[in-house]
Amino acid sequence: GEDVEQSLFLSVREGDSSVINCTYTDSSSTYLYWYKQEPGAGLQLLTYIFSNMDMKQDQRLTVLLNKKDKHLSLRIADTQTGDSAIYFCAETTPGGSYIPTFGRGTSLIVHP
């Protein structure tokens, strides 16, 4: 089965908050990441969180980590149409040579 799971789609209205969720299976995960991919482009690192942190905030982005439940979320406040993209969750573990395992990505669709 997948090591990192995400729902495939999320639709929100412009101005609302978006919450994209991710679950992972490896309890030894050290870093967890959120990447953004716009159509026809590569991935852009949005933010990351170290496993000893519960929360990280960066402007409109808030990352929450629940280590007990192995659950990671990305909240985007005041979502804009320019936030429409695919968002990938990824995690690294020491045993995997720190090669990230990526989820399948969540397509965020923002309606005007």
The residues that touch another protein, with contacts defined as CB under 8 A, are 8, 30-31, 33, 35, 40-45, 48, 50, 88, 92, 94, 97-100, 102-105
Distance of closest approach, residue 106 Cβ to another protein, in angstroms: 10
Query: What values do phi and psi take at 19, rounded to 5?
Result: -130, 115
Q: How far is CA 5 from CA 1, 35, 43, 98, in A?
A: 9, 14, 18, 18
Distance of closest approach, residue 92 Cβ to another protein, in angstroms: 5
Distance of closest approach, residue 43 Cβ to another protein, in angstroms: 4
Supply 60's token pair: 């409109």
